[in-house]
Amino acid sequence: MDEIIERALSNASESFIAATGPGGQNVNKVATAVQLRVDLFALRLPPDMFRRLKELAGSRMTGKGELVITARRFRTQEANRADARERLTELIENAARVPEKRKKSRLNRVGKVKRLKAKKQRSDVKANRGKVRFD
């Protein structure tokens, strides 16, 4: 797991872009937002992990298989760089987690009878609805 994260961080390319939001005149002069790009094919991930990562990434993944994370929450490049790297790490860790399979619940005989009785009652209520006739 740590090996994959290290590989991702070493293969990541960073570019700094002009940020929006708070920062006064500084935001107009300094490119503080970080755009982190990682080629997911270069990471050689297991197929099921790649599929989960692709699903988690959503629109942040390009058609070429690059994951693009833009961090512009903070006013400094260093803080935004750390934020982008942290988000990348979190994304990879979540993709590595295999979801537990859902176990079918079993209903005993008494539960089945109760459920069918409740369905019948509800059915009767709905069947008796309709236009009121004054005959």
CATH classification at residue 60: 3.30.160.20
Residue 59 lies in a domain: yes
pLDDT for position 110: 95
pLDDT for position 83: 92
pLDDT for position 121: 96
pLDDT for position 108: 92
Residue 85 lies in a domain: yes
Please give the residue range of the domain that contains residue 53: 2-96
pLDDT for position 123: 95
pLDDT for position 26: 67
Mean pLDDT by 10 residues, the chain (135 residues): 76 79 68 86 85 88 87 86 90 89 90 96 91 77
Residue 129 lies in a domain: no
Residue 127 lies in a domain: no
CB atoms within 10 A of CB 127: 8
pTM of the model: 0.67
For 38, list phi and psi in degrees, rounded to 5.
-130, 130
pLDDT for position 21: 66
Residue 43 lies in a domain: yes
- Residues 6 or more apart whose CB falls under 8 angstroms from that of 110 comprise none
Residue 40 lies in a domain: yes
Residue 89 lies in a domain: yes
Count of the separate structural domains present in the chain: 1
